[in-house]
Amino acid sequence: MTMRPWAIAALVAVLLFLLGPFLIIVGAGLSAGETLTFPPEGLSLRWVWAVLQVDTLRHAFAISFSLAVLSTLGALALGIPAAYALERLDPPGAGAIRALVTAPLVVPGIVVGLALLRYFVIPLGIGIRPALLMSHTALLVPYTVRVVAASLRNLRVDIEEAAILLGASPLTAFVSVVMPNIRNGIVAAFILSFITSFNQVPVSLFLAGPGVSTLPIEMLARIDFTYDPSIAALSALLALLSIAIVFVAERLLGLSRYV
Amino acid sequence: MIAAPRLRGLLLMAPAGAFVALAFLLPLAILLSGSFQAEDGQLGVQRYVQFFADPLNREVFLRTLRIGFLVTLASVILGYVAALAIVDLDPGSRGRVIGLVTLPIMISPVARTYAWIVLLGRTGLVNSVAHEFGFTDAPLRLLYTEPAVFLGLLQLLLPLIILPLVSALENVPRDAVPAARMLGAGWWTIFVRILLPLSREGLGVGGVLVFTGAITAYITPAMLGGAKVLMLETLLYQRVNVTDDIATATVITALLVAMSVVAKALLNRIARGRPLGRGRAR
Amino acid sequence: MIAKLRRIATLVFGVLAVAYLSYVFFHEPGEDAGADRLVISVFGVSQESFRKHLYNPFEAECGCKLVIETGNSSERLSKLAARKTNPEVDLAVFADFDALSAARRGLTDPIDVAKLGNYDRLYEFARDPIGGRMAVGYTVYAAGIVYRTDKVRIESWNDLWQPVLKDRMVLPTLTSSGGPMMLHMVESALGGNDPAFRGALAKVAANKESVVTFYERSAHLVQLFQQGEAWAAVTGRYNLPLLQRLDLPIAWATPQEGDAGGRNVMVLIRGSRRRALALRLMDKWLSTPVQTALALDLTDSPANREVVLPPATASLLTYGPAMIQRMKFVPPAQVLDHRAAWTAAWNETIAR
């Protein structure tokens, strides 16, 4: 096919629109000046260094990171069996369950946060940390179900049936035949869920409490009263972290297929 | 009697279903049901009437619809432009470009939106460039306007439609377009007759993601719109956390959920290739 | 064999990693030392300064651990109300009217001021700001007008409406603590004293096209000045040091009508089990050394009369008899009683 120059030009423009702001935030974060500006007033790592010294941000990072890993594992534990059942076992009520587990995708986060705080966390007397963990897990289940189901769909059924015919129990067949073959799907689900939880704002906004705050919430709060480039520097750091993850994931398993 | 594997399937699904039902659906249902209960405890739509009686609420509702629609429209156009160019690339660079498109999804929306504040200020890059090239005499106010929110949301959500469109267009037979060209079809005809029907599913999936993303986004309107350009999400947050008005919040909740569900149904119908307004063919 | 060992090693590593992350996530600071915990809910701004001058010294003294929740006044209040039956927080600080709202909703307990050794050192306005001994003020600020001296002159609250400020003026939104204070001063500059602020609301509505944005938090104010969006703004004086760090000619106006006064106060949460410890922190916060140190950091203006500040610091804070006397406090009860009507009028005529 012929490459049409205008198509390429349009593509470059779209990419610039998508990635330009990110480049700007990196530039602003590397500024040597006192205030947030672009182009930056000279280059330095001083704000990157400064932002790493802030206790509350470090603590919030630890909370966000551990929350993201734990809720992702929880969502995988719930999602993998459900995806397998939906794809292979044709259970009664599959349609309803499919709709149910994908529901968190269409409901606005603010609403979820409010509903969970008022009618789940407070009536049941759930602590702040378990509440955050449970809400994030519920939010991530749709992602794990969808991605794992998609990779199961690409896996031929007969391998597994062969294993069962040869005398393996369904569980053994799943662990030794199915699991290795959908490993990429599971890893993709893990990365997608991790990033979704790590960047989550509205739900956590309602459920966070004394001593427990997540990184994006702390960032939003600091944007309200800091005018220096420190949050830009932090944004740049986080973005670089994401890029590293995405690059590795794309190389290894073509993550974008699952988004 | 249910066959054993089906029963096993039910057991395997049960934990996920029960968990989502308890920790998500039930609280949400209680919150939503509150919107149909008037102050005196009677059931009815009184709260909705009150909500729409307030001119600010009406304006915010319409603005949310308008911005949602415009962002979806713009993403569909830009999405096709980008996706068509991407499927034209050789496989190697296609992967790299798809990686670049995926990248913004992974970056925190807080960080991405923050960039626009730097860009759109009166002394920001956009105004400097516009002034430099003589487009404007005096710097324009861009921040805290609807266009700022539009731009922020478009940038936030565009990748969500590019990716499904690319997957859909990749399945278009390689020789379909050149064949049509040889038969003398114009650019527009090719798009409407071949590419559009074959990429309907991607359009539906991406369109739903973008529209629901736009009407339910919180961070972008909060940071770029502020108190002057409220959308339903920011209004909801304000009602709950600033004025402690749960009644209004439940109505907004119901509206947002209804809008998402309706958008999903509409676009699914488009995706299945059925014209709007006609019954299901089944 | 080696493959099996490797699998076991991976599994062990995974389990350890998850265990460690669970510990990080579920671990309450100070829990393992068996120390007392005191949970406080405060404004997010300047936490580094509080950490240095208040939290660290207090933790060393009491052998306890402070757990800190941050956020703006109204957000923390609604969280507190939501968790009324099982409060997490022992001591909270609020804007004075939010404190009164908390008291009216039965979220607070009266303060036994006899237990506060520093109580007698407080200014009058800080001693019983919301009545019933339900709160004690710990800081005060003037709310007034900052402006670009090279662009405009401001000598009265009425100067906000001059044509040159079209599209260059930034005002607080009604739902922020600055909103009622601004309306109070606009109302009195117009010669009115209607507690429902009808005149002031009409004035703001008539000029709403001139306003760049109604800011919610002191948030974007500095940015708005820096980026040239704002030439004049109504704000708390606590933003002055940050504004003056910009390379711009920015000054604090002294309008003839005076400034509005804002107070932040401390309250004790009903149902808290650590009352003695909370009172101890409260007293420490009000002490002359802590109030002086926080003032020298430009964190908070003192509510303690015995604080002595060098002129360079004093000129950036709300400090000294002249400044204090200029301030007019909006009675907290007026804010609560009229807020619904203000909001309705504001939504009807201004926010659209």
Q: Kindly tell me if the per-residue pLDDT of B276 is higher than 60.
A: no
What per-residue confidence (pLDDT) applies to A24? 85
What per-residue confidence (pLDDT) applies to A248? 76
Q: Which residues of A touch C (CB under 8 A)?
A: 34-37, 54-56, 62-63, 65-67, 69-70, 73, 117-118, 122, 125, 128-129, 133, 209-211, 213, 221-225, 227
Q: Which of A11, A86, A120, A251 to mutate to test the interface with B (most CBs of B within 10 A)?
A: A11
Q: Kindly tell me if the per-residue pLDDT of B278 is higher than 50.
A: no
Report DSSP state, residue C208. G
Least confident window among A1-15, B207-221, B244-258: A1-15
What per-residue confidence (pLDDT) applies to C171? 93
Q: What CATH number does residue C119 fall under? A: 3.40.190.10
Residue C232 lies in a domain: yes
Residue C325 lies in a domain: no
Q: Which long-range contacts (CB under 8 A, 24 or more apart) does C202-209 make?
A: C202/C349, C203/C161, C204/C171, C204/C350, C205/C349, C205/C350, C207/C160, C207/C161, C207/C169, C208/C349, C208/C350, C209/C166
Searching chain C, which residue's CA lies closest to the CA of residue A74? C18
Q: How confident is the model at residue B275 (pLDDT cuts 50, 70, 90)?
A: very low
Amino acid at the residue C11: L
Residue C19 lies in a domain: no
Cβ neighbors of A142 (< 8 A, separation 6 or more) are A101, A102, A103, A104, A105
Helix (H) or strand (E) holding A12: helix A5-29
Specify the length of chain C in residues: 352
- Show residues of chain A in contact with B6, CB under 8 Å: 89-92
Query: How close is the nearest chain B Cα to the Cα of C351, in Å?
Result: 6
Residue B31 lies in a domain: no
**CA of C319: how far to CAs of B69, B85, C139, C298, in Å?**
52, 64, 10, 11
Domain ranges of chain A: 5-252
Residue C13 lies in a domain: no
Q: How confident is the model at residue B282 (pLDDT cuts 50, 70, 90)?
A: very low
Residue C15 lies in a domain: no
User: How many separate domains does chain C show?
Assistant: 2
Helix (H) or strand (E) holding C316: none
Taking only the tens place, the pLDDT of each residue in A206-248 is 898 888 889 999 888 887 777 778 888 888 888 888 778 777 7
Write out the DSSP string of C76-129: HHHHHHHTTTS---SEEEEEHHHHHHHHHTT-EE---GGG-TTGGGB-HHHHST
Instruction: Give the whole-angstrom CA distance, residue C285 versus residue C40.
Output: 12
Instruction: Give the whole-angstrom CA distance, residue A110 versus residue A98.
Output: 23
Locate tokens 């304006």: which residue? B59
What per-residue confidence (pLDDT) applies to C288? 96
Cβ neighbors of B208 (< 8 A, separation 6 or more) are B263, B264, B267, B268
- For residue B35, which of A206, C44, C85, A111 has the smallest C-alpha distance? A111
Cβ neighbors of A53 (< 8 A, separation 6 or more) are none
**Quick one: average pLDDT of B253-279?**
73
Instruction: Give the whole-angstrom CA distance, residue C38 versus residue C273.
Output: 9
List of chains touching A (3+ CB pairs within 8 A): B, C
Q: How buried is C4 (Cβ within 10 angstroms: 0-12 exposed, 13-18 middle, 19+ buried)?
A: exposed
Residue B144 lies in a domain: yes
User: Do C80 and C221 lie in a common domain?
Assistant: no
Nearest to A115 among B28, B88, B174 (CB): B28
Q: Which residues of C touch B (CB under 8 A)?
A: 74-75, 77-78, 81, 167, 173, 175, 211-216, 220, 223-224, 226-229, 339, 343, 347-348, 351-352
Buried b / exposed e across C295-329, counting CB within 10 Å, b at 16+?
A: bebbbbbbbbeebebeeebbebbbbeeebbebbbb
Residue C16 lies in a domain: no
Taking only the tens place, the pLDDT of each residue in C58-92 is 999 998 889 999 887 888 888 888 888 888 899 99
Neighbour tally for A47: CB within 10 Å: 25
Instruction: Give the whole-angstrom CA distance, residue C74 versus residue C175.
Output: 9
Taking only the tens place, the pLDDT of each residue in B139-175 is 777 778 899 999 999 999 999 999 889 988 887 777 7
Report DSSP state, residue B280. P
Helix (H) or strand (E) holding A69: helix A55-84
**Quick one: average pLDDT of A8-23?**
90
CB A190 within 8 A of CB C39: no
Residue B85 lies in a domain: yes
List, in sequence order, the alpha helices (H) in chain C.
2-26, 47-50, 56-62, 73-82, 96-104, 124-127, 178-189, 198-206, 221-226, 240-244, 275-286, 288-296, 311-314, 321-326, 332-349
- Show residues of chain B in contact with A91, CB under 8 Å: 6-10, 12-13
Give the CATH fold of the A5-252 domain. Answer: MetI-like fold (1.10.3720)
Size of interface A-B (CB pairs under 8 A): 284
Q: Kindly tell me if the per-residue pLDDT of A251 is higher than 90.
A: no
Cα C158 from chain centre? 26
Nearest to B122 among C215, C220, C228 (CB): C228
Residue C14 lies in a domain: no
Q: What CATH number does residue B179 fall under? A: 1.10.3720.10
What per-residue confidence (pLDDT) applies to A238? 85
Q: Kindly tell me if the per-residue pLDDT of B96 is higher than 90.
A: no
CB B57 within 8 A of CB A150: no
User: Do C170 and C249 lie in a common domain?
Assistant: yes
Cα A217 from chain centre? 15
User: How many separate domains does chain B show?
Assistant: 1
CB contact under 8 A, C214 and B238: no
Taking only the tens place, the pLDDT of each residue in C276-285 is 999 999 999 9
Residue B238 lies in a domain: yes
**pTM to 2 decimal places:** 0.86
**CA of A108: how far to CAs of A105, B146, B150, B213, B224, in Å?**
8, 20, 18, 8, 19
Cis ω on the peptide bond leading into residue B178 (within 30° of 0)? no
Report DSSP state, residue B37. B
CB A119 within 8 A of CB B24: no
Instruction: Give the whole-angstrom CA distance, residue B19 versus residue C56.
Output: 42
Instruction: Give the whole-angstrom CA distance, residue B270 versus residue A57.
Output: 45
- Residue B247, domain extent: 67-271
- Residue C131, domain extent: 37-140+262-319
User: Do C153 and C272 lie in a common domain?
Assistant: no
Q: Are strands C136-148 and C37-42 parallel, antiparallel or unpaired?
A: unpaired
Query: How close is the nearest chain A Cα to the Cα of B263, in Å?
Result: 10
Residue C31 lies in a domain: no
- For residue B108, which of A37, A237, A185 has the smallest C-alpha distance? A237
Taking only the tens place, the pLDDT of each residue in B116-140 is 887 887 767 787 787 778 777 777 7
Coil, strand or helix at B171: coil
Neighbour tally for C349: CB within 10 Å: 16
Residue B33 lies in a domain: no
Q: How buried is C209 (Cβ within 10 angstroms: 0-12 exposed, 13-18 middle, 19+ buried)?
A: exposed
Q: Which of A37, A52, A66, A133 to mutate to test the interface with C (most CBs of C within 10 A)?
A: A66
Half-sphere exposure of C85 (CA within 13 A, CB side): 7
The percentage of residues in chain C with a pLDDT greater than 70, rounded to a whole number, is: 97
Coil, strand or helix at C308: coil
Supply the ipTM of this predicted assembly: 0.84
- The token duo for A202 is 């509205």
Arithmetic mean of pLDDT over chain C? 90
β strands within chain A, DSSP E:
none
User: Do C232 and C341 lie in a common domain?
Assistant: yes
Coil, strand or helix at C286: helix
